[in-house]
Structure 1
């Protein structure tokens, strides 16, 4: 069952229209959520990011789009799919509805849909035996700007990069901006560890304003034993790093084990993950 504007229907009966602006122009935003036993991880951060993104996109936010209303709709969808007492991956999609070419008509109204699927692992873990190899994706570059940090339906670069990774036997790729600095991975934010110095690209470089990125920054910023900064990362720095890891809400922290001929450890990533899991338990 999927939820379209509050109505639960079979996906086969959804009849998604090709006239929807999300389909026609990518005029849509989405949040990917991890839910365990009915609890949405970092729901408040997801909600406020979505609201901020809708304002940037000049969407008219419906009056009923409160945090409580959308949470209730997500719960309703999970219950309809018998996933309320297990682990699920949820996609909350918001679009501008129907009407207009590039310019929306005044009749275009914001709508939403919610799709859920079972997910196997309720915990954030790191597998020491997991090999995770990456390389740079240099066919296309991301232009820095306010729109580049949005989780929108315009993900052509990520799609092309994923195809490239698959064709070259890679687990992921790192994306560069037009200034040729690294901004993120195809499916998450990037952190670099060198000694007691840790950094991640700043939002101004064009990376996604990730919800898990925010959690990790909060953890790192409170540790007086390390030096953390948001600063540009050049490809040259990758070879000198002790560790690289990717963050997203579904997987938590994913250590990179290999970039070209460079092999990395995961000691700092594992320690940070332990702090993240403690934060979740306390929250």
Structure 2
């Protein structure tokens, strides 16, 4: 069972945070960043062969076998940022026998939605390549968006009202087993954040004194959509080990570029989103004692 679960939110630096935790010598992390063991059955992330509905014993398969005689880790962790929205995760994780702690990373809502849009459009193919960000926001606002069953892409507006999801988690976990941090902290001073988290988790914080904090899972634009389609078919069949990471580096060097800039219409949509989330953000800051002045 995990001692720490990074439960949210998508496109807020959780992949980088997971890697930095997994690098600590006293931490054992799942083989894949997104274990998805506690997602809802209707989610596009659901995997019947590795899900809590098959019993908790299946969770052990998410970790690599440990050498005989190796000492137990101080902490086991996984990260599935979609858990924050999952009813199954909310029902199961707080009641796990070892009472794990849960970590939530939040990003200013309009920036999080833009990053989500770029990720699902560029790194994947859930969003059509010719759809502008302004049109994406309009589709979300209409309530008729589907995006091929990807609920994270289709429900981005309601999902960015973080307080609606954090309150039920707080009620289930209690304040001592839950921590909320900001993407701003992760981006501005990762060393300080990781040392603080290490202390909270009972890890030696000195490991992060000299650590290198490389970002991961950044959004991109594929140069060739045909090559990208072949990449999507292939990477779903490869185990996420050393070979997978090497192939990913080669692919990104040859077939990716930074996401395109925003048009004037896109920037207007982004500004409108930022303003629309102001009331929810004020309630969030008050309820969880967060400094969200940078989100205004």
Name the TM tier (shorter chain): under 0.3
Give the number of the structure whose residues are more often helix, by fraction.
2
- The structure showing larger relative contact order (alpha-carbon pairs under 8 Å, at least 6 residues apart) is 2
More strand by share: 1
